[in-house]
Structure 1
């Protein structure tokens, strides 16, 4: 008896542009992709099953298998489409500069970026930034991210950034819009409507790159926010608490776990990996933490306590002490970068105490809002949007940018420089 033919997939249906695909088959395939994108966005990649995708597409599991080998195959195709459009978007960055035309070119590019994000939110939401590793073995966006970075960097070499390294400028143009649109897409922060948010984001990034841009050029943006807009934050300021000391072994386990979660992604790390990195046996590890979820929960608890205490000092920070505050934040972020990333992964965050996660992010947001309320924001920028930009700087600009390697002090100096050139000009 001969080998049983593969009945799960129809090879002729695999390539989306294959001329042999019938109209009906192509329609079914596109419906599966569109439905999967919605489910991935709602549940996260790891929280999505093939059965969930089939149900959303109003198809059977067998029908989905006719077109895709599994959910990894679906996500890989969604990623490939987004990568092509990301590279094309990088090439469309117009002529920037401290002029009205330069502001308009940046605004058009950021408006396209918002469209791009909405079209591919299911893919982008899996990343804290374009191409940042998340433990998704089904894709490797590193080459695309590097090509995008080089394209934007090359564009910035043509203009005078007033002492700002072109690599830092390119990182700001890539990372900050991504995070602000992530906040918008997941409704993580109180934000204005998209058009106002895009104009405000344009003002902030324009000033980071070209701090001498005339105010009239900023006010000329469509949907520029009126000067009276401000942040409303009715939540009480968090009350800092003490961090309970741990044994050396437990401390080492938490430290290596946070590093592994940041480097590989939460789902790609197993208890055996943690035990090996901490140089303890699995039996010893289980005496301190029975599950990986318990490790993440304890990291979250400790991170929230520390950031509450640190954030409480921000509203009273003066220009002379901002660098010191930022250095403390950089050190906090690098210690807890794995758990902070998990807070922005909807699938992982579902396993944690919602109040704890919201309290951690909320502590920083409350402090940022209070600081921004004490300064004169640039013309045309909505204060709620300014808060999102500030948080994006905190969340992403401590990472290497391609410029000469920086220590903690250097990263803090860059973040302060970006904020002083833009949101904190009057501080």
Structure 2
């Protein structure tokens, strides 16, 4: 047996949640640690919460905390398993699905229960979004749970005789969109004019059409038909990213090349490890420079994120303009959609870590917030413009449909590769295009 390191924490046997040796006092201490950790995750976020702050909030010492948990990650895992088990209990109770009133009612109930579980464990699900990156120790657990959840749903979809989509792909797309939509809802990023019931109704219509695009219109008779949103022109209010100074502008070619290497290294690491999981030392090591080189051009890591935010906003404006020209109902609509998605995938890959940092909501720099608000608004308006070109007879609000499109585009490219690392970019494009056409651009079942 290998010798134990003198730095390794000695943890008493049997201090888990079902231990018989802890005693009532120890059980109360353990529960207090878990409760205070959850509270700190909510107020500070996972990355900003330290073991010391947990121990202080729980009224205990660092060494005592380590008798119950090896790290804050282990506490997170315990909480994650609790909310994951709640989701699994819900999925086991799904009734038959299909293009019928009963099938839609069962789907609507399931999504409602999913929303209830999300709200009950909102703190954990919000943090789930920020730790689901390759650089975190709990990411394999998150990925494993999502894969197991998708496989369970896929078996149910296969028994429901879903057609036109691989059941596992359909499950992946559905769980990705629903989970991200619930995150948007919790963060206040959904249309405020719609009630919670209307948001759930719209989500249910979207998912029903994605799974069963030929669902008869009368199946949706119980859903209140929201008033149509008027298409609004996409107008750029100034140059994208103009709030943030360009760190490359005015530099000599050699200096500009150095800064470009630092920026590219930051983009890769933010995507791989997350913004909070990446340090300045990581960036300079990735770029092949000394630490002093970084501080010659950037004051802090936030400046690097701001530069990437500026570049992301510029590239996004070009992407938005191309997307707004698509007419899904035109003969060349499907081709143009896939061409646009083919260009979007590398954009998403490069700026994944940047956009994830935006969504976390923990960064409050006014320049960053201004760029994010403008970029998000422009993409939303472009989505409305494209949706207005399609005669959509289903009770799915256009503003809500645009938000669902955002959830689809933000989450599915990454989730598809997490499910199958060998999946080609072409396969990812086809999956996203199929979901958009079946749900967002659905003109209703064909009549004989």
**Fold similarity call, TM over 0.5:** yes
**Are 1:413 and 2:412 matched, yes or no?**
no
Matched with 1:205 is 207
Partner of 2:369: 354
Partner residue in 1 for 2:118? 117
> Residue 153 of structure 1: CA displacement?
2.1
- 2:380 matches 1:379: no
Whether 1:323 and 2:302 are equivalent positions in the alignment is no
Q: Does structure 1 residue 262 correspond to structure 2 residue 271?
A: yes
Tell me by how many angstroms 1:293 deviates.
1.9
Contact 1:96 1:103 in 2 (8 A): yes
Deviates more, 1:175-184 or 1:109-118: 109-118
Decide whether the 8 Å contact of 1:343 with 1:349 is kept in 2: no
- 2:163 equivalent in structure 1: 162
- In the alignment, the residues of structure 1 paired with residue 147 and residue 265 of structure 2 have an alpha-carbon distance, to the nearest angstrom, of 28
Could you tell me how far apart the structure 2 residues matched to 1:162 and 1:102 are? Answer: 15
Contact 2:14–2:20 at 8 Å: present in 1 too?
A: no
Residues 237 and 189 of structure 1, relative CA distance in 2, 3 Å threshold: farther
Query: Aligned residue pairs: how many?
Result: 414
Find the counterpart in structure 1 of residue 136 from structure 2: 136
Most deviating of 268-277 and 116-125 = 268-277
Deviations 1:264-302 (A, max 9, x none): 222222233223322334444443434322211111111
Gaps in structure 2 of 5+ consecutive residues = 1-8, 250-255
Aligned residue for 2:59?
Answer: 60
1:369 is matched with 384
The answer on whether the counterparts of 1:256 and 1:277 sit within 8 Å (CA) in structure 2 is yes
In 1, the alpha carbon distance for the partners of 2:139 and 2:429 equals: 32
Q: 1:22-47: CA deviations, max 9, x gaps? A: 66775665465345434323431123
Q: CA deviation at 1:184?
A: 0.6
Distance (Å, rounded) in 2 between the aligned partners of 1:76 and 1:352: 35
Q: What secondary structure sits across from 2:170 in the alignment? A: helix
Name the SS for the 1:164 alignment partner: coil
**Pairs within 5 Å for 1:230-245:** 230=229, 237-241=236-240
Take 2:230 and 2:54, find their aligned partners in 1: how far apart are those partners? Answer: 39
In structure 2, how many angstroms separate the alpha carbons of the residues matched to 1:105 and 1:113? 12
Cα offset for 1:119? 1.8
CA displacement 1:191-230 (0-9 Å, x = unmatched): 422222122111111111111111111233xxx2424153
Alignment of 1:217-228 (within 5 A): 217-220=219-222, 224-228=223-227
- 1:425: Cα distance to partner? 1.9
Counterparts of 1:381 and 1:90, CA distance in 2: 24
**What residue number does 2:347 align with?**
332
Q: Distance in 2 between matches of 1:368 and 1:415?
A: 15
What per-residue deviation string (whole Å, max 9, x for no partner) do you get for residues 304-357 of structure 1? 122123213433321223333333322311221111111112235669722122
- What 5-or-longer segments of structure 1 have no aligned partner? 1-7
Question: How far has the Cα of 1:375 moved from its partner?
Answer: 3.5
Cα displacement (A) at 1:117: 1.0
* TM-score, normalised via structure 2 length: 0.79
C-alpha distance in structure 2 between counterparts of 1:332 and 1:277, whole Å: 21
Distance 1:338 1:26 in 2: 39
Distance 2:39 2:134 in 1: 20
Which SS does the other structure have where 2:268 is aligned? helix
